[in-house]
Every structure is written in structure tokens, then in C-alpha cells.
Structure 1
Amino acid sequence: MKKLTVVLIIGIFAATLIFVSTSSDQFVDAGSTKKIHFTQTITSSQDPGQGHENHQLALILSPNKGTLYDGSMTFTSSEPVQIVVLHELNSQESKGQPIWTVDGKTVYGLSLIDLQKKSDSFEFTGAALALHSTDSKEFTATVSIDGWIRGQPTEVIMQKIELQKDPTWSLSRANVPATIPMHKGIYGGNDILYIITDSSDENYAKTLSEKQNWNVEIAPVIANIPEKALQKLFIFKNGVRDDGIYGFQNEVFSNTPSQESEYSALRSVVEVSWKIGQKPTILESVDDVIAAEKGGRVEFNETGIVLNAPQIIWPDGQMMERSDKEITNEMSYGGGQILEINREEMTVTFVAHRGWGPNGETIYYIVTDATPSGPAETMGVTSSPVLSNLIANSGAVDLFQFKNGIKGTGPLGFQPGIAGASLGDPNYSPMWRIYLVEWNDAKSAKILETKSDIDSFHADDLLSVSIARPTNSDHIVNCPFIDPFQ
């Protein structure tokens, strides 16, 4: 295991010397009181305090036993932060109040000022001063200090504290933006905006790719998906000219995510053609389409083709947009998968996540919907309970996510996942059955890049593989693999 060494120098000039400014009057001797004055830019690191392992700390004035800092601070930070002021305590005083400690022996009282601002001014008195974030994301801050160190230290100590730090590893460009064209559809006379990512039919995929100038991937196995996991999509082959797939009226949907118990992004294509001698009109609902067919005005062609067509905006809702638009390798999977919906350009920009295909090849995927509702809400995607019908169906493929081991950019905070199929494979599907990989001894974890790696270590009884069942429910995620750089 990799070790992080933190050195706290506790003494009269100790930590303030870490932040020496170029100003010649930074320290002005006044007997037992010493002037401090500096401006410095600092970068946070992992908070060494017990219970703060996933937090970030930027130490400005570190603890000096027997001394007291007093003054004012002005700061500007790249992220919203809290202010931490530590106070010397003895063991009897530490009970019943918030504390901060690295080793459990030397304990400080903790005052946490939860400003959650990127800039402010603050007057302080205490044994130490820092900026703090409960996020694991590194931040940078510029601070100006004007104050005094009061008192002489009663003891000078150097503590070398070795913290066990889990090894981390990440892929470059672990998360990237992927801009995808949207189409207009109709539900109940109202507009829907949706995308098309996959087709069970190669010719249809080619036609759609040319139409939207963005690749629709071929996923033959989704043609095997059972009817109870599908919904109808009515596509018009003639009639009123408009911006539909074939240049006629927009496609008609049978439901939206508002009908959660029925909604599926997987659509069975029904082609609609107006009969000779009939006057075409805009059909605005499934009821209208069915009535026109029963009245002999149009005819249906049940193609057997299945499209993956997730809805982005529907009459009374839309997919969640992320509040934090900055893309980093360490960004959370929670809080939404969409960066921007551009109605004028008719595009939507997703976060595309990087992982590995079964043979170690790079793959990128987006997330559009899932079941059960808990994981869907956490990721900020549409809930689609009918996907549970795919748990034992060949239309879904296995995707392996790591539950422990080496920390990284995977959705559970560990190494990236490994898929059971890649684009171009005959068994590729955008519908993924999630398996969890757990090392029996996390300290012996290694980076795995292929499905055969998992199989080999599993056979040697070094890790376990189990199907994910959040809230004791079948778990399927709609994660189309895409090329985000096209």
C-alpha cells in the first residue's frame, strides 16, 4: 500500500514559514508577539484528520503548541469552502465538542464556519487556520493574512504521522462531453425531444446515421427483447412533409417517462403509410394513428426493428441537467448525466464515461435510464421499471463494476468497469446487466483490463463476482456505447 507522509512542525516559527512571502516585513519581532503578514496561493490536499479522509484541506497556519494566532484573513478559492479554526485542548476538555486529530493523541477543538463561499474575509483567533471542503475534489485558494502570533511555545514537537492511503489510479480523459443530435416527436399533441443511439437493424442504422449525421450503432440482440419491455414508435413513410425520419410528420410515441410504469426507451418500429386516395393530415397521438388505421386511411408495417430512443424532454418534464458543468476525471456519477440541452441547435450534451471492453479496448458510454428507481435517481436519469424484464434476457449484456480495490474513476469510486461486449460485437447491446466485482483482500487488488482478467482472478478465488441487486431489485442500466469524438 502507498503511504502518504504528513509532517506537522509544531513550534514558534513552524508552519508560518511554509507560507513565506516575498515581503521583508512578514515577521516583525515584538518580544513574545510576532507579526505575520503574507499573501500566498495554496492548493488543497487530503485532510489528514480522522473522519475527514474524503475531504480536502488547505492549511494556512498550522498548530504551534503554546501559541495563539490572532488576525484577519481574506481569501479567494476555486471552490466553495468552509473555514476551520483549531483550538488547543487537554484530554479532559475534548469531550462533548467537535474535535480534529490526526493520531487520536494530540486533539484540537474544531470551529467550522460553513460559509460555502468562494471568497470572503474573516477575523480569527485560534491555534491553527485552514480552508476545508467536504468534497474530495482538489481546490486552489489565494489567501492574505494580517495578524500576530501571541505567546511563546511551551514545547517544540515534530510529529511524523504516516497515514495509510489507498492507491489510486485513473484513465486519462475518464469523462468527456458527447454532443448528440435530438429529434422531435409527438405525444398527445405535444412535442417530445429524443435521441437515437442504437438500432437492431443494420440498414436502419445506416439510414438514421445519415439522417442525423451522427452514428447510430448496430445492436442486433435488442431485437430479442420481450414485448413487455418495448413500446411502439410510429414512423411515417409518406404524408405531410415535416422533419420526421423519412421527411414526413414527426414520430408518434406511445408514452413518456411521466407514465413511469410503462416507459421504455426501447421502441418497436411501426412504419405508417397513407393509402392512395386519402388526404394526409398530422396525426398527434397513438389514438389518432390507430383510428386512422382502423378507418382504412393508413396501413401499418410492423418491421420488427427495435431502436434505442431515450426521451430528453417530454410534455411535463425532462432529464436532469448537472448543476456542475465542469468535466474532470474525478467528477461524480450522481447529479445528472446531461451538461446542456440546446433547443436551438437541437442537440444534447451528455457526460461520456470511459471504461474497457472485454478485450481491454477503450469504450465510452452515456447513461440515459435505469431500474430500480433508487440508482436512477442517484445518477439523475429516467426511471424505467420495465427494464427489469431484461435481467435474464439475451438483449442485455454483462457489465462489471468494481466495489473495492484500487480507487479510480469507476462509478463506485474504484477502477473503471469492464464490459462483456464492445461496439461491433454481435452480442453488443446498450442494455447492461450490472455485476459487482469485489476483491477478497482489497490490499492485494490489481488493475484489471479484460473480462479474462476477471475470470482468472475469480478462478483463483482472489475476488468474488455477484449480480447487483440494489434494494433487492433487478438492476438494468441503459448505457449506450458511443464515439464522443465524432
Structure 2
Amino acid sequence: MLNKLIVFLVIGIFTIGIISISTISDQFANAGSTKKVHFTQTITSSQDPGQGHENHQLALILSPNEGTLYDGSMTFTSSDPVQIVVLHEITSQDAKGQPTWTVDGKTVYGLSLIDLKEKSGSFEFTGAALALHSPNSKEFTSTVSVDGWIRGQPTEVIMQKIELEKEDPSLFLSRANVPATIPMHKGIYNGNQVLYIITDGSDEDFAKTISGKQGWNVEVASAISNIPENTLQKIFIFKNGVKGDGIYGFQNEVFSSTPSQESQYSALNSVIEVTWKKGQKETIFESATDIITAQENGRIEFDETGIVLNTPQITWPDGTMKVRSDKEIFDDMQYGGGQIIEINKEEMTVTFVAHRGWGPDGRTIYYIVTDATPLGPAETMGVVSSPTSANLIAHSGAVDLFQFKNGIKGSGPLGYQAGIAGAALDDKNYSPMWRIYLVEWNDPESAKILETKADIDSFRADGLLSVSIARPLNSDHIVNCPFIDPFQ
């Protein structure tokens, strides 16, 4: 339901409107094209709308407006230590390394940030806007007195009392969705080519080796080292033999299944290293069956390493992951419809949409989505169906990921705020396999932005929200969404 709200609007203020100063209109004295401004006002901060400042608080004192310049002095007292922000009107071409502030990435302001680390003070200013700022998410209240001048256009600041419709609260993070370009490898299944990526490994040294070879980080996920056998397929990696493009410089890796063998396929692979014995005629193997036969005949040796790799297949002999029809990536784009923007076979790269969320301690994380179970959610997201993943529903090889089904609108998969993970990269319990829980506010109108697992636990203990395991189609729900650094 939309609520009616009476607000004060400064003509020319950003459409997001951070605060209103209801007493300014009668405190300007005409001086030709220059106006005198002097007022005292108590203001409460709100979320900073600037890109990269989503977890900060801002109290706008003098709003930016094209062609307007303020100068004068300001004295303040605040409930918390604050920083002083002065914005400067520049063009995007002028932004050449200096700190900037922008809401939409188009209109850019130079940013002067004066960190007094004090609850009160005085400051002389000249610029296109003036504000108080806090680098954390806690709301603060300040009383400010301003004495100065406004120059340029507009020649008047007009205050109007108008009736607006207040939309449901929302939080669309900046860079909520970004491209992540990942190197692909060539593999083989029954004599045909497979293209796949490597995102995670259970062994740190092995992950470092592959990271160096592919020039893209393979994350360490020790939690998948004891994945049950019925959730794994096999990948055969060659340590000698015919030269080629494989991980060790020999023939391409061989897989035991592809997504076409839906009941068997898993992106999680048990690594078997293959070594040709001396005196044997080296050939190229094209199937897991041929490899096993050669091992039984004594031509090759196996090293069942115990290492598990997350190797989602991008293309296989009779299929491919869905590529989005809309190639544009933006903050509030639809979550479904495919997770891939481009498969570039010439450059041997694939570009995923990387989604932003929060780690358990509130740090930013990004993840891609490659496969899921059951079939319905997998098809909705445009990823591979992997029923074997359901074997992890009660296993430590899967970690909890909390998604919101009501409350603050945002860029999460269900249309609400971004999710919160139970582990982050470098955590001992990190895994690319996620057990999904749904967070539901008992009173959606009282919903707040949550950023940590402790936030969820606290509000749940207070009876303000409920948490339940997701069971779409009354089925166990596991999603393979490896955490990555999309900016490497």
C-alpha cells in the first residue's frame, strides 16, 4: 500500500531528496543575482545515495543544483562524530583520479571530505553542496547554523509544500550486478568437446597452481573436500602423455558426465590424476570408459588425489548454458532469464552476471550462479539442473545463504534486499554450494536493512522476523553460486 506523505521539496534537489529544510524560504535576502542565506536547523541523516556509500549516512544541508555556488560558514553539533562534505560541480571529463561523488554515474561532483572526528565544530566552505557524513550505517542527528551566500542559478530557492506518494522503502546497491569474465578450459566427454570453468578447489596448493595457470583466482573451499561420493563426478587430469591444452600441458581433461546426463551430473569433480607408464604407446583418451579400461590393463596409473574441484560446464556436446537475450547489466535487472552475457570461444572466456550481497560480517561479496536443484528454480534462473546437489541438504559441504522474501525492495533474487551469506571467502566453512533460507518480516512495514548474520539472529530472537529453509516444489534446494572477485 502506498502511503501519503507531506514533504518539503527544494526545487532543483536530486530526485531522491535526502532532507528538507522547512525554514529556509523566508531567510534569504535579495542581493541581485546573489542571495543571502542564514538559518539554524536540526536534521536527521538518512542513507547516503552516492555510489559506493550505500552503508553510510548523509545529512544534506545545502543541496546541489546546476549553476549554484555556496560560500560562507557553518557551525554544527551532532549526536555522533561526523565528517564534513563539500561537493564541487565538475564534468565527468574533469574526473581524473580525484575523489568524486555521484548518484547515477552521469552527474559527477568533486568530493572534499573533511574528517574532523568531532561531534561539533565550525567550518568555512565554498562549493556546490554542503553536508554532514558518517562512514557507518548508524543514523545521526545534527543541529547546524549556516551564514553565507548563494550565487548563480537559480536566483531563488523556492520552498513548496506538496503532497507526494511515498513508495515502499527500497535499497538498490550500486554495482549490484556486474560482469565477471572467467577463463574457460577445454575438456572431453565421449569424444566431444566440453568447455568448463574452475572456480573452487578443496586443496590450497592445487588451487594456487590452477590460479597461476589460468590467470584467474581459484578460491579455496576446504568444506567440499568431504562431499559424499553420490554428489561427485570424475575429472581425469593428465600428468604426461600427448601434449595439449590440459591443466598440466598434456591432453584435455576428460569428464565422466555432462548436464545431459542430468541424474549423474555434478559440477563438483573428484580429481583423478592420470600417468602413463613407461613403455606404453601414448594416445589421446576420449572417454572415461576408455581411461578406466586402460588402467585395468596396466597401461596407466591413477592417483585418486582426494581433491575436489568446482568445474561448472558451460557448453557440452549437445547443450549450453543459457545466454541472456538482454546483454545490458544494471543494478535492478531481473535475476532470472540466464546468468551468462557472452560465451567467447575465440578468447576462451565466459562472462557471467556477478550478483552483490553481504558476507556474514557485512563485507561485500559477489557470486555467480551456475547450477541448482530442483529443476523449477534452475530453469527460472537460466542455469543447469543438478539433482545430485540435493544430497548436500544436510551436509557441511553446503553453507547457509539467507534471501529475503519481503521487506525492503532491492536487488535480491526475490525482489527484496540483497542476501546475506553464512560464510565468505577465506572462511574455513566457505563452499560454493548454498543451502537457501528465506527471511520473512512479520510486519513488512517495520522492515530494516540487514547486513550481517548477527542482524538476522538478533531480529529473529526478538520475534520480528522468521527464517525457514526454502523448499520450492516441496524439494530440497541447493544452488551452486561460487563467490568470486569480478574485478580481478
Common fold: TM-score over 0.5: yes
Counterpart in 1 of 2:287?
Answer: 285
Counterpart in 1 of 2:65?
Answer: none
1:211-250 matches, cutoff 5 A? 211-250=213-252
Identity rate, percent: 76
1:250-399 matches, cutoff 5 A? 250-399=252-401
> What amino acid does structure 2 have at the position aligned with 1:229?
T
**1:4 touches 1:165 (CA, 8 Å); kept in 2?**
no
**Separation in structure 1 between the aligned mates of residue 480 and residue 450 of structure 2, nearest angstrom:** 24
RMSD: 1.6
1:129-144 matches, cutoff 5 A? none
SS of equivalent to 1:326: coil
Residue ranges of structure 2 left out of the alignment (5+ in a row):
7-161
**Separation in structure 2 between the aligned mates of residue 350 and residue 5 of structure 1, nearest angstrom:** 41
**Separation in structure 1 between the aligned mates of residue 420 and residue 349 of structure 2, nearest angstrom:** 29
SS of equivalent to 2:171: coil
> What amino acid does structure 2 have at the position aligned with 1:477?
V
TM-score, normalised relative to structure 1 = 0.67
Counterpart in 1 of 2:483?
Answer: 481
**Separation in structure 2 between the aligned mates of residue 231 and residue 167 of structure 1, nearest angstrom:** 45
**1:373 touches 1:383 (CA, 8 Å); kept in 2?**
yes
Counterpart in 1 of 2:146?
Answer: none
**Separation in structure 2 between the aligned mates of residue 346 and residue 201 of structure 1, nearest angstrom:** 25
> What amino acid does structure 2 have at the position aligned with 1:303?
T
Deviations 1:118-140 (CA, angstroms, capped at 9, x unpaired): xxxxxxxxxxxxxxxxxxxxxxx
Counterpart in 1 of 2:178?
Answer: 176
Counterpart in 2 of 1:421?
Answer: 423
**1:193 touches 1:312 (CA, 8 Å); kept in 2?**
yes
Alpha-carbon spacing, 1:481–1:404, altered in 2? closer, same or farther (3 Å): same
SS of equivalent to 1:166: coil
Alpha-carbon spacing, 1:239–1:407, altered in 2? closer, same or farther (3 Å): same
**1:180 touches 1:348 (CA, 8 Å); kept in 2?**
yes
Deviation at 1:224, TM superposition (A): 1.5
What is the aligned residue count? 334
**2:2 touches 2:165 (CA, 8 Å); kept in 1?**
no
**1:2 touches 1:167 (CA, 8 Å); kept in 2?**
no
Deviation at 1:169, TM superposition (A): 0.9
SS of equivalent to 2:366: strand
Deviation at 1:165, TM superposition (A): 2.1
**Separation in structure 1 between the aligned mates of residue 4 and residue 270 of structure 2, nearest angstrom:** 55
Deviation at 1:287, TM superposition (A): 1.0
SS of equivalent to 2:210: helix
1:27-38 matches, cutoff 5 A? none
Counterpart in 1 of 2:10?
Answer: none
SS of equivalent to 2:351: strand
**Separation in structure 2 between the aligned mates of residue 311 and residue 438 of structure 1, nearest angstrom:** 34
Counterpart in 1 of 2:472?
Answer: 470
Deviations 1:72-118 (CA, angstroms, capped at 9, x unpaired): xxxxxxxxxxxxxxxxxxxxxxxxxxxxxxxxxxxxxxxxxxxxxxx
Deviations 1:347-380 (CA, angstroms, capped at 9, x unpaired): 0000000000000000000000000000000000
TM-score, normalised relative to structure 2 = 0.67
User: Rg: which structure is higher?
Assistant: 1
Deviation at 1:457, TM superposition (A): 0.2
> What amino acid does structure 2 have at the position aligned with 1:203?
D
Deviations 1:261-290 (CA, angstroms, capped at 9, x unpaired): 111000000000000111110000011101
Counterpart in 2 of 1:401?
Answer: 403
Counterpart in 2 of 1:187?
Answer: 189
**Separation in structure 1 between the aligned mates of residue 214 and residue 334 of structure 2, nearest angstrom:** 30
